[in-house]
Amino acid sequence: MDYILPVLVFATIGAVAGILLTVVSKIFEVKTDERLEMLQETLPNINCGACGYSGCGDYAQAVLGGEDCNLCKPGGENVVKKLSSIMDVEEKKSEIVKAFVKCGGDCNVTAKKYVYKGIQSCRASNQFYSGSKVCTNGCLGFGDCVNVCPEGAICIDNEIAVINPIKCVGCGLCVKTCPNNLIVIRPEHQNVEVVCSSTDIGKVTRAICRNGCIGCKMCERKCPVNAIKVENNFAIIDYSKCTNCGECVEACKFGVIKKSSI
Amino acid sequence: MIKNLIIIMITAVLVDNVVLSQFKGICPFLGVSKKIKNSLGMGLAVIFVMVCATLVTYPVYKFLLIPLEVDYLKTIAFILVIALFVQIVEIILKKMIPPLYKALGIYLPLITTNCAVLGVTISNIDHQYTLVQSLVNAFGTGLAFTLALLLFSGVRSKIEYADIPETFKGVPATLIAAAIVSLSFMGFSGLFA
Amino acid sequence: MSNSIKPKEKNQPSYFKEFSKGIIKENPTLVSLLGMCPTLAITNLASNAIGMGLATTFVLVCSNFVLSLLKNAIPKTVRLPCFIVIIAGFVTVVELLMKSYIPSLYSALGIFLPLITVNCIILGRAEAFASKNKVIPSILDGLGMGIGFTLALFAMGSIREIIGSGQWFGLQVLPKSVDNMMIFIMPAGGFFVLGCIIALVNKIANKKPPKEIGCSGCPHFSSCTMIENEENKSDCSKTAKEAN
Amino acid sequence: MKIKDKVLPPVVLTIICIVISALVIGVHKLTYVDSTGVLTDKLKSGYKDIFGKDSSCIMLTEDNEGVTEVVTYNEAITSILVDKENNTCAFEFIADGYQKEGIHLLVGIDEKGEIQGISFIEVGETKGIGTKIQENSFVKKFLNITTANEADKIDDITGATYSSKGMKDAVKLAVSTYTENKEAIFSE
């Protein structure tokens, strides 16, 4: 029976390997709290940074260390519920936030300075006399935000970025990518917004874009809680005071202030 | 003796490049060579694993398989020993030097299923090399793998901006570039009579 | 297994779908780019290619079968060694059978027969599929993947043999006046043919590579502030594709 | 749970190793046919290709202590086929070309000591390149040479250096072994 010996030799190799592995993994075991893996699984892992940490991994560590569980904006309700159930901490309400674009200058209301044939990206076209549109701080329309959005909630339609409120999870990646900082993250229920951020004086804005805010201060006078003020030629709403009454929407003759439906 | 070792080294690195003419280790080669930093890390990890794998598999073959005349079981014994070795290194690295584990750790499981590592150990046996010669051959092959990987991450980062037809973007372009480089490596085949 | 295949939660999987996905939709060689080493090395002959494909299919089916049986018997610490020993066992069985019954194919495949153990397809399918599903879907998945692999190898093998040596399965196909291009038998030809076939598959499946622009070649490289989030930019566009 | 997860892994791994190695050794036992010292019909037909249809040959063996052993004078030679009547013999080689043990050939030497012909039993070299050594344009160069350095002067086929080198070494070895122990081969 000369083949019993090789089988025995192989059995010993297997045994030695098994014992070695278990012993080594016992000695060199890195103590990881298994809740960490569960936390990491529940988080959406798009590393958007909306929770203020550099990525989902770091946020999971922080939650393990006691951070509260409702900072993950993209995750929304169920992530908050799961996180707090894992950490068995009572669940805090997390307000839903959405992204809004503060520019209304699409291709039928504003003109182009030149035809841009370079690399199709907002940041690149912004280097050449700040974009191909006549309005220098309007939406450049090349879709950097579209590339970055993990949920695919933004699309470019007639050369302006439009955000689909249902798909948007409020992660804030588009805010960082927009070279003209036109996108703002705001709680969902405050849906009155000034759809322009042009710093040119009234006469110039009037000439280049029909949807532009000329800084006529009509809305400032009409607002019951004077939550709206014109600063460097365009109106800005202070959302801590704003009560969503919509007075300013009617006051604005050019329809620059809009109330978006939820 | 030394001349023989140098010949083995040069054949391993240039004449019979493990990736470009022996076709071993292509999967990690295509996967990792996107960035130079990754490919350097992967290359060093592969050299380390290849040399240590030879150190481990050679005695197993010589003192276990030959006396028992079970030469045909060498594949099982080798791959078991290599997988065991890589897993132990990974566990130790994770505990003792976490930063090094973060840089190289993710490649270690990838290396166990790397055809080049098992290929080296088996070709050492086929060429009936002594221990020293097989160590030199393993080191040379690791070097060849790293050379090919570095060469390729450079080529790949340039390919990204060339305007290639839509369907050829990504892996097809890399493969055709590999064809051209492999053509040039064939020039080395006349190095030794 | 360079890219991770997310396990799909399935209700009652239709068995035919398990089988057919391996052939076209998730063809291991042309779509998920696994098992490159044998694809390039063995395909200078169509008969070799089929031999290698069938050998791999046999090993794939058996190892998927055994692994799906033992999937919860193997503890986590010794998971990889057990998988690999089982696969290596089947490969050696194929090697021995081939050595005694088909010696010509055995000597033609040479060192790539034992290298089937480290073939990325087998361990990839074992890790991603067999260890998470029941026995019958695993077997069918193994069979589908194996046949997909064999078809891809056969296509590669025939193209390289016809162009390279003017023959197909040994029969003279191209007229003698057309002198054959030896380069296709050489390693360089292998890379080239595989590149063209994958490009063709991309064209047919017209899957768009994500629209990314590399930064370091761009004229505004110095002044552009996009560089620091270049890392997560590429990940996001990938996840965006998967999200919608 | 503590002891179980400490003991279970090595046990499972050992069982798997035992089962797999037993399976493989069993298959090996079934399929391994010990062809050393057996005059397979392939060798006979190879011999006939070289020396014509009617030649017959036996394998040179000697039995020490009851075990018939193949006489080869050099372990690179697999076996020697001898035809006592018309003093011809052939050396069987399994040479390493590009592939390990890729070339299985017979080198036939006639009564004058010149190489009568070479017949290939099995060639596993890369198709189209390595297999070129079988073309008679290459084999013709080897015919009726008697000494080793004549074989050395034959230049290799371009692109198939490994294969032609393997074959040339086999021929050189055959010629040199023949000249050394010619008498012993045809003696008993």
Q: Is the pLDDT of residue D158 over 80?
A: no
Which of C82, C101, C108 shows the shortest C-beta gap to D124? C108
Q: Is the pLDDT of residue C28 over 60?
A: yes
Which chains contact D through at least 3 pairs of Cβ atoms less than 8 Å apart?
A: A, B, C
- Residue with token string 């990204």: B160
Q: Does the distance separating the beta carbons of A25 and B91 come in below 8 Å? A: yes
pLDDT at residue C221 in the model: 54
The single-letter code of the amino acid at A10 is F
pLDDT at residue A120 in the model: 77
Tell me the C-alpha to C-alpha distance, in Å, between residue D21 and each of A7, A43, A216: 6, 45, 88
Interface of B with A (CB under 8 A): 60, 64, 68, 70, 73, 76-77, 80-81, 84, 87-88, 91-92, 94-96
Q: Domain residue spans in chain A?
A: 34-86, 96-188, 189-262
The single-letter code of the amino acid at D78 is T
CB of C102 within 8 A of CB of C51?
yes
Q: Is the pLDDT of residue C5 over 50?
A: no
Q: Does the distance separating the beta carbons of B176 and C191 come in below 8 Å? A: yes
Which of D10, D21, D22 shows the shortest C-beta gap to A15? D10
Token digits of residue A203: 């006469």
Among B93-97, B123-127, D78-82, the range with the most confident prediction by mean pLDDT is: B123-127
Q: Could you say which residues from 120 to 159 on chain B have a Cβ atom under 8 Å away from some Cβ of chain C?
A: 122-123, 126, 157-158
A96-188 has which CATH code?
Answer: 3.30.70.20
CB of B153 within 8 A of CB of B39?
yes
Name which of C81, C143, C165, C153 is nearest C112 in CA terms: C153
E-strand stretches of chain B: none
Q: Would the pTM of this model clear 0.80, i.e. be above it?
A: no
Which of B72, B126, B189 shows the shortest C-beta gap to D28? B72
The residue-averaged pLDDT of D68-83 equals 75
Q: Is the pLDDT of residue D9 over 80?
A: yes
Fold identical between A96-188 and A189-262? yes
The contacts of residue C105 (CB under 8 Å, 6+ apart) are C47, C48, C51, C98
Which has more confidence, A103 or C176? Answer: A103
pLDDT at residue C52 in the model: 92
Task: Establish if C117 touches chain D: CB-CB under 8 angstroms.
Answer: no
Which chains contact C through at least 3 pairs of Cβ atoms less than 8 Å apart?
A: A, B, D
Among B26-30, D16-20, D70-74, the range with the most confident prediction by mean pLDDT is: D16-20
The residue-averaged pLDDT of C23-42 equals 82
Task: Establish if A13 touches chain B: CB-CB under 8 angstroms.
Answer: yes
B172: distance to nearest CA of chain C, Å? 4
Element (H or E) spanning D106, and its range?
A: strand D103-109
Which chains contact B through at least 3 pairs of Cβ atoms less than 8 Å apart?
A: A, C, D
Which has more confidence, C147 or A151? Answer: C147
The C-alpha atoms of residue A161 and residue D2 are separated, in whole angstroms, by 58
Residues A178-193: tens digit of each pLDDT: 888 899 888 888 878 8
Which has more confidence, C54 or D48? Answer: C54
Cβ contacts of B92-99, under 8 Å, gap ≥ 24:
B92/A24, B92/A28, B94/A28, B94/A30, B95/A28, B95/A29, B95/A30, B96/A28
Which has more confidence, A5 or A52? Answer: A5
State whether CATH 2.40.160 applies to domain A34-86: no
Q: Does the distance separating the beta carbons of B77 and A25 come in below 8 Å? A: no
Contacts of B73 in chain A (CB under 8 A): 6, 10
- Residue with token string 């480089």: B181
End-to-end CA distance of chain A: 82
- Quote the DSSP letter at residue A209: B
The C-alpha atoms of residue A168 and residue A144 are separated, in whole angstroms, by 16
What's the CA dihedral at A215, A218, A224, A230 to 10 degrees?
A: 10
Residues B93-121: tens digit of each pLDDT: 888 887 777 777 667 777 777 888 898 99
pLDDT at residue A245 in the model: 84
State whether CATH 3.20.20.10 applies to domain A189-262: no
The contacts of residue B45 (CB under 8 Å, 6+ apart) are B104, B107, B108, B111
Q: Does the distance separating the beta carbons of D28 and C85 come in below 8 Å? A: no
Which of B32, B160, B176 shows the shortest C-beta gap to C192? B176
Token digits of residue D50: 């070289």
CB atoms within 10 A of CB A108: 10
- For B96-132, letters b (16+ CB in 10 Å) and e give eeeeebebbbebbbbbbbbbbbbbbbbbbbeeebeee
